[in-house]
Amino acid sequence: MAEGRGRGGRATVAAVGAAAVVGVVGADPGSPALMATVSGCASTTAALVSGALWLRAGRWASGRAKLGLRLLGVAMFGWAAGDAVWVGDYLVNGGDDPTIPPLANVGFTVTMLLGPLSVALLFGSRRVARVRTVLDALLIGTALLYIAWAAALGPMYRAQGGGLGALTSLSYPLADVVIATMVLILVRDAVPAIRTSAELAATGLILMFIGDGGYAYLSVQGTYQPGHLADLGWFLGFVVVAVGAPRRHELAGTAVLTDDQPRRLFLPYVPFLLAFGTAVTLFVTRRGQVEPAQYALSMVVVFLIVVRQIVTLNDNRTLTRQLEGAVDDLRYRAYHDPLTGLANRHMLMEAVERALAPETGAQLAVLYIDLDGFKPINDALGHAAGDRVLVVVADRLTGAARSDDVVARLGGDEFAVLLPELQHSADAQAVASRIQAALQSGIDLDGHPVRVGASIGVAYGQAGRIGLGELLRNADVAMYTAKVQGRSRTVVFEPELLSRLPLDQAS
């Protein structure tokens, strides 16, 4: 098909071809050789076209997805080769022996091996997701096998007398169960861009499963001949898979085609519910008689459900811890300065509000700090050097403050310290003195010694007698006065300082 043809164009061509083949096979012209030729050529062609489209899709993906799509195309080529050899051998031998020749089995075996491997390469890479995917695949596969065994495989197995030979004849339906299981998982986990492709592939696999089941059943009965209506399952299955082949814009370099957080979490339980319904029906109709194989499969299903729930609980616990960690990180970011790690303005305001609550009755103080000499350093040496200075200053402020004080960066080169529950007003001035002393030491910036000072304003307050805005304004006014008086000094707020300020500062 032309590269630019959309899925609608593929579907139109496929529908016309399918209608023609179904019309011929359904009409049953009465010639076994003609029926085998039409059916075999149609199925082989459909498999070749489907394989070519999925192989080409691998060009547009990357990584694991590229390899997986290409192997899937090769798997379909293997089936086409096996089918061509089978039908050719049947016609050469005069239409007397419908047995699959060994050479054809080689092609079919390639499909059985590469099919599951190719689909597995399309799954996500997160470890928990891989474990969950494996468990879901086992659960779906076991449930489907239970249903298939009850409906067809079990009776066919018993009709052949059991044993290894009987199991060998059922290998193709069993392989279909494996591949169908993985495609169902792919449908569940597929990213939105290829979900339609996955759903069409799953539909095609179901049709192929019907074809293999019909072949196995008719073979056991000794009535199968190539060209039978059951062959339409293979042909129509590959037609639908071909229509669903991903297109260029759906892949666009994608490396993984599945989502580690699938949206259809209920999917593994659908086959389980169907298997449960089948088990109940068999139990009632057979009056409690259960085959050993069905009993074993039932136990496996129950075991897998328990293990899956344990994995889900552990996964949920891990996700909960990650969520709690993310919440803690967001809370920390909301209340701390990202550069220095100090409390930010928001955290300081909340701390001051709590300290001013009337019921505490405590005395407190706020130190408003503005660095002196910081701007020339920042302008001359760059913002990176300025940031290093701010980090050093933050460490020295923390070291000078008391253990229960709140040290905050308000922004730029402005800091503040809240001193809650003061026993003596001199304690605040002692902290201010320690800050001034700490900043006397120079700061080395890769061989460039620099020094900053601090203009500090101190404002006292009594809980229940002063508001947040007034207290912070008083500290700011005192700091401004310290700058005006010569910088690198500490000023304690007094009401008369308000009258000395310019109107814009006092407001």
CA torsion angle 165 167 172 177 (round to 10): 180
Query: Burial level of 287, CB count in 10 A (0-12/13-18/19+)?
Result: exposed
Q: Are 368 and 457 in contact (CB under 8 A)?
A: yes
All structural domains of the chain: 7-271 (1.20.1070), 345-506 (3.30.70.270)
Long-range contacts formed by 264-272: CB under 8 A, 24+ apart: 264/187, 264/188, 265/188, 267/136, 267/140, 267/184, 267/185, 267/187, 267/188, 268/136, 268/139, 268/140, 268/188, 268/308, 271/139, 271/140, 271/143, 271/144, 271/147, 271/184, 272/139, 272/143, 272/301, 272/305
Model confidence band, residue 4 (pLDDT cutoffs 50, 70, 90)? very low
pLDDT value at residue 28: 63
pLDDT surpasses 80 at 303: yes
Residues 319-344: what's their mean pLDDT? 92
Least confident stretch, 142-151, 414-423, 431-440:
142-151
pLDDT surpasses 60 at 153: yes
Q: Which is more confidently placed, 441 or 139?
A: 441
pLDDT above 90 coverage of the chain, percent: 34
Q: Give 3-state DSSP helix, strand, coil % of the chain, rounded to 5.
A: 70, 10, 25
Rounded Cα distance between 87 and 231, Å, is: 12
Angle 396-398-401 from CA coordinates, rounded to 5°: 110
Q: Which structure tokens are listed for 334?
A: 């909301």
For 281, residues 6+ apart whose C-beta sits below 8 A from its C-beta are none
pLDDT above 70 coverage of the chain, percent: 85
pLDDT value at residue 111: 83
For residue range 484-502, list pLDDT tens digits in order.
998 889 999 999 888 776 6
Phi/psi of residue 228, each to 5°? -65, 160
Residues 291-315: what's their mean pLDDT? 83
pLDDT value at residue 426: 92
Rounded Cα distance between 479 and 462, Å, is: 20
Q: Are 191 and 254 in contact (CB under 8 A)?
A: yes
Report the Cα 371 to chain-centroid distance in Å: 48
Residues 5-21: what's their mean pLDDT? 74
Least confident stretch, 186-200, 361-375, 431-445:
186-200
Give the gyration radius of the chain's Cα atoms.
39
Rounded Cα distance between 235 and 226, Å, is: 12
Which range in 315-324, 340-349, 357-366 is most confidently predicted, on average pLDDT? 340-349
Residues 28-54: what's their mean pLDDT? 84
For residue range 206-220, list pLDDT tens digits in order.
888 888 878 877 877
pLDDT value at residue 507: 42
pLDDT surpasses 90 at 160: no
Rounded Cα distance between 137 and 272, Å, is: 12
Model confidence band, residue 265 (pLDDT cutoffs 50, 70, 90)? low
Report the Cα 485 to chain-centroid distance in Å: 61
pLDDT value at residue 506: 46
Rounded Cα distance between 401 and 417, Å, is: 8
DSSP tag of 101: P
pLDDT value at residue 344: 96
Q: Which structure tokens are listed for 241?
A: 């898979």
For residue range 452-492, list pLDDT tens digits in order.
999 999 999 998 889 999 999 999 999 999 999 988 899 99
For 65, residues 6+ apart whose C-beta sits below 8 A from its C-beta are 58, 121, 122, 251, 254, 255, 256, 257
| HEC secondary structure over 242-256 | HHCCCCHHHHCCCCC
Task: Give Cα separations from 57 to 8, 185, 415 (angstroms).
Answer: 17, 20, 60
Strands (E) in 157-212, as ranges, are none
Query: Burial level of 383, CB count in 10 A (0-12/13-18/19+)?
Result: exposed
For residue range 94-115, list pLDDT tens digits in order.
766 777 788 888 888 888 788 7
Bridge partners, residue 419, by sequence: 365
Q: Are 67 and 259 in contact (CB under 8 A)?
A: no
Model confidence band, residue 162 (pLDDT cutoffs 50, 70, 90)? low
- Beta strands 490-492; 453-462: pairing state: parallel
Q: Are 347 and 419 in contact (CB under 8 A)?
A: no
For residue range 385-415, list pLDDT tens digits in order.
999 999 999 999 999 999 999 999 999 999 9
Tell me the average pLDDT of the chain.
Answer: 83
Residues 316-333: what's their mean pLDDT? 90
Token pair 């070291």 in the structure block, residue: 399
- The candidate with the shortest Cα–Cα distance to 423, out of 366, 493, 362, is 362
Least confident stretch, 22-26, 363-367, 426-430:
22-26
